[in-house]
Amino acid sequence: MRRAETWPRTIVHVDLDAFYSSVHQRDDSRLRARPIAVAGRSRRAVVIGASYEARSFGVHSAMPLHEALQRCPDLVVVPPEHGRYREASRQVHAIFRRFASPEKIESVALDEAYLDVSARTRHGTSSPEEVGRRVKYTIHTEVGLTASVGVATSKLLAKIAGATRKPDGLALVQPGTEPDFLAPLPITVIPGLGPKTEERLRLMGISAVRDLAVADTQKLIQALGTSGGLLQRLAQGRDRSPVVGARPARTVSAEVTFEYDVTDRDRLEQALHQLAQRVTERLHADGLRARTVSIKLKLPDLRLVSRQVSRTSPTDDRDVIFRAACAALDRSRPESRPVRLIGVGLSGLEHSKPDLQMTLFD
């Protein structure tokens, strides 16, 4: 392996394997080696997470639960326990801070993060591969979960590399080998390349990353707009996006899907009160206040209706947030339309200041 000092920078991508289902299997030996899905029990429940045993039957996240049960009749359905997921994620992120400073840790989700450990490897304290192995080992021994880890000179390469070794794998892309590593992979490995873009590229005869890397740039831009040039640069392994850590949350939200469509105003307000409690707890946990309260309604035809109420000073008071959500509900005039889903979102977030005086929403 090349000496660690030859790496221009070292990015480690960590993705916890089947995170939600793995937490349940870790804590309940009866669930180990069994096909399980994390989901609610309502008629409209969707799968939040699936174990690898369930994935072998084609079960995956965001799949309607009734379809998952059809594909896997022996599927074990366990209810979500968000507190346990947050605690497991907190433990894992505490481990990350042993390998990188907070400003060099970019948390993508509860189960995914990037670490910029360039200074550590360049100073010769450990090789890039050793850092990846130590991260995996520490997570497994202290938290009881497995992770797939990619190590490369960029976020793009680290993420793609780790995905090629799932589950419980480690992949290393040496500096200078990025184009060769990417070339034979399908274009779908490039983050942000959606189904419509994939279809357009395939119509142009582009199915592998190597095809995209050498395609005519102007034709790509004509077909895809400015994103065509960006996708080509990524296909060539040219990614200098930084690891951005310690970013404040931009929004806090919670939602609920009703088992049956709701038209009753009291039922909607009950749901808003519960959602206001949930988002307020999130604010208190993160030491934040919000200036804007919004609601989201999903109708039976899946159309979305959203309204918001803003104020001049931020708040973290549940009752104020609830009243603002009800005011936004009034603006949406829901009485004549059944509601399938309702959600509350907070934005304009600021860190709490104890001397701020509370004022009513406009």
| Enzyme catalytic residues | 112
Q: Tokens standing for 61? A: 């996240």
For residue 194, give the amino acid letter.
G
Question: How far, rounded to the nearest angstrom, does the alpha carbon of residue 75 sit from its chain's CA centroid?
Answer: 25
CA atoms of 84 and 143, how far apart (whole Å): 12
Q: Confirm if 37 and 24 have CB atoms less than 8 A apart.
A: no
Long-range contacts of 199-202 (CB under 8 A, 24+ apart): 200/224
SS (H, E, C) the chain: CCCHHHCCCCEEEEEECCHHHHHHHHHCHHHCCCCEEECCCCCCCECCEECHHHHCCCCCCCCEHHHHHHHCCCCEEECCCHHHHHHHHHHHHHHHHHHCCHHHEEEEECCEEEEECHHHHHCCCCCHHHHHHHHHHHHHHHHCCCEEEEEECCHHHHHHHHHCCCCCCEEECCCCCHHHHHCCCEHHHCCCCCHHHHHHHHHCCCCEHHHHHHCCHHHHHHHHCHHHHHHHHHHCCCCCCCCCCCCCCCCEEEEEEEEEEECCHHHHHHHHHHHHHHHHHHHHHHCEEEEEEEEEEECCCCCEEEEEEEEEEEECCHHHHHHHHHHHHHHHCHHHCCEEEEEEEEECCEECCCCCCCCCCC
CB neighbours of residue 71 within 10 Å: 14
Measure the CA–CA gap between 322 and 344, rounded to whole angstroms. Answer: 9
